[in-house]
Chains A and B, each alone.
Chain A
Amino acid sequence: MDYLRKKDYKKMDLFLLIEEAQGSNQVALEELLRRHEGMVFSTLYHLSANIDNIDDLAQEVLMRIARSIKTLKRKENFKLWMNHIIYNVFYDELRKKKRRPQVLSIDNFYEETPETPQKEIEDLRIHPDEKMKNTELESVIRTAIRDLEEHFREVVVLRELQGLSYEQIAKILDTNVGTVKSRIARARSKLQERLKEYID
């Protein structure tokens, strides 16, 4: 499709775009990555409670997509496949972080257990590209999601942000649909508790 201009790719149907990208069309690949970079970044941002190198992780995800797009067999599975990559990159990083020695800082002043509320100083840095309105509710929701335990946070992000089905989430997390169903229900009940004054 050499006769197409860059702007034509912007309007191109996703499946066709994937097909083109798989056929070594660099413009199509670039457009495919451009369409999904925001979602990749956003998913990583919400999956993590305290990972500070999200830009690097997002680059890594996009690189893996670009590198292995030809291995994607069914175009309709692109979203699921992309989320597998996001999930793998994210948890690789988390494992690396856990192996790194802890540095004593003011954030570690209190002993934290899953039951105790986080005592760390709230991270008030806003990503330079963050265009979100900083309303009170958004800030409360962000904190509520970040305060969820990891296995609850990940199902909320995969369901509400990515819009994946229970079956797709189960595949990504390598678990069964029943577990996904109960985790989503429990995560919501925790969020309901934390956001009580906004939904009652």
Chain B
Amino acid sequence: MSNIECNFVAENLSAFVDQELDESISYKIKKHLCNCLDCRRKFSKLLKLQRIIKSYFCGENIGDSSMDLAGVLASVESKF
């Protein structure tokens, strides 16, 4: 695989994972990933990172039901 192509993929891989690229660029990257083992490894690491960060955020319940909502509403009502 050419370095130019690999550099292009590396620059856009994160946005590719987020599906934030134009269809034509996504297609180009998909095609490259099929043929380039190095980039495929980078892609799989990025997916893994995204998965653990997302599950870290999703697994949290911090702040759940900790707020005094009645207090918030009462305070808003008293001001307006």
Contacts and interface: CB of A to CB of B under 8 A. Distances in A.
B80 A185 contact: no
Among B11, B49, B65, residue most surrounded by chain A Cβ atoms (within 10 Å): B49
Contact of B62 (A62, A131, A159): A131
> Chain B: interface secondary structure?
helix
Interface of A: 26, 29-30, 33-34, 37-38, 40-42, 45-46, 54-55, 58-59, 62-63, 66-67, 127-133, 137-138, 141-142, 145, 156, 159-161, 165-166, 181, 184-185, 188, 191-192, 195, 198-200
Interface of B: 11, 13-15, 18, 20, 45-46, 48-50, 52-54, 56-57, 59-73, 75-76, 79-80
17 contacts: A30-B73, A33-B69, A34-B69, A41-B67, A42-B57, A55-B67, A58-B66, A63-B72, A127-B63, A129-B62, A130-B60, A131-B62, A132-B59, A132-B61, A181-B20, A184-B14, A185-B11
